[in-house]
Amino acid sequence: METRKKSDGSSENIIELRNLRKVYRVGDEKVVALDDISLDIKRGEFCCLLGTSGSGKSTLLNLMAGLEKPTRGTIRIKGEAIEKMSEKKLAKFRQEHLGFVFQSYNLLPMLTALENVSLPLIFKGVPRAKRDKRAREMLKAVGLSTHEKHKPSQMSGGQQQRVGIARAFVAMPEIVFADEPTGNLDSKTTREIMELITRLAREHNQTLVIVTHDLQIAGYADRIVHILDGNIEKIEINNTRGGSNEEADNNNISSTDPVPAGV
Ligand SMILES: Nc1ncnc2c1ncn2[C@@H]1O[C@H](COP(=O)(O)OP(=O)(O)OP(=O)(O)O)[C@@H](O)[C@H]1O
Ligand SMILES: [Mg+2]
């Protein structure tokens, strides 16, 4: 099948990683967290990074999200090499295009649910009335209209994570990164949270990159990138997701050839 044109946006690589390497120094020791990673992620795709503890998943996600710099290699997001950006430009780029969901929710304890969700809009300079309206809509979308005034300590883990998700999506980022977003939740709540994240992302064709060691979560993704010892071990197209994985037919990335030819 012929690859669709970029003009309809459907085959655009929103993330392009080339020969990424990350080495940490701890005293005299070198830790190779990522060895040599090349990967393309398409707009609107749900990509899961799956691997055991210490395999390098969080390091890879943090590099993609601009939270850390690579030792070597390039990270292009929307065509821009983010590893070359100044801190100021990167901060603005992240505010405009990226959202984050953390395992430990990372909500500010003194702020209400509504205020926590509003934070990204405050940083973007959105006026009060508009951001309250938008934050309310997001809280409604995650089923927490009744908890606007609750502080994090007055909510369950699943509710706190739903606030975290509302905050990640409130500014309509093109890409949402999540590191073990259900790591602290039971399996029923995990299912609810995964269904919520995927529904929100599909509504606006947002790209999702989720780190997990959990096969149940990986099952929601279009593509599962297996990470082993800082490298891509294989890439699986998830045909069992159903409905929305037609990209798989057009994808020239196979499990034996993680990098498209000619790059
Ligand atoms: N800041 C750091 N300083 C030194 N070593 C680090 C640092 N961050 C990560 N590492 C090392 O890099 C490797 C990859 O770590 P990473 O956190 O990416 O793994 P992970 O796949 O996310 O694991 P987990 O599932 O346990 O979260 C590990 O050996 C880890 O000890
Ligand atoms: Mg991790």
For residue 54 and ligand 1, the question of a CB distance below 6 A is answered with: yes
User: Hunting for tokens 């190779």 — which residue is that?
Assistant: 32
Q: Which phi and psi (to 5°) does residue 21 adopt?
A: -135, 140
Minimum mean pLDDT range among 6-20, 53-67, 177-191, 211-225: 6-20
User: Hunting for tokens 């999200």 — which residue is that?
Assistant: 65
Query: What is the 229 CA–ligand 2 centroid distance (Å)?
Result: 13
SS3 182: coil
Report the pLDDT averaged over residues 94-121: 95
Confidence grade of residue 47 (pLDDT, cut at 50, 70, 90)? very high
Q: Walk me through the domains of the chain, giving residue ranges and CATH numbers.
A: 45-67+86-245 (3.40.50.300)
Q: pTM for this structure?
A: 0.88
Taking a 5 Å cut-off on Cβ, the residues next to ion ligand 2 are 58
pLDDT for the residue 109: 97
Query: What is the 4 CA–ligand 2 centroid distance (Å)?
Result: 35
- Whose C-alpha lies nearest to ligand 1, atom 6? 24
Report the pLDDT averaged over residues 188-215: 94
Report the pLDDT averaged over residues 126-130: 96
Alpha carbon 2 to its chain centroid, in Å, reads 28
Q: Could you tell me the two tokens for 181?
A: 């977003």
Query: What is the 235 CA–ligand 1 centroid distance (Å)?
Result: 21
Ligand nearest the Cα atom of residue 23: 1
To 5 degrees, how large is the angle CA 16–CA 82–CA 221? 40
Separation between Cα atoms, residue 23 and residue 34, nearest integer Å: 7
Q: Could you tell me the two tokens for 26?
A: 């701890």
Determine how many CB atoms are found less than 10 A away from the CB of residue 206. Answer: 22
Report the pLDDT averaged over residues 219-224: 96
Report the pLDDT averaged over residues 3-25: 79
Assess whether pLDDT exceeds 50 at residue 254: no
Assess whether pLDDT exceeds 70 at residue 78: yes
Assess whether pLDDT exceeds 90 at residue 85: yes
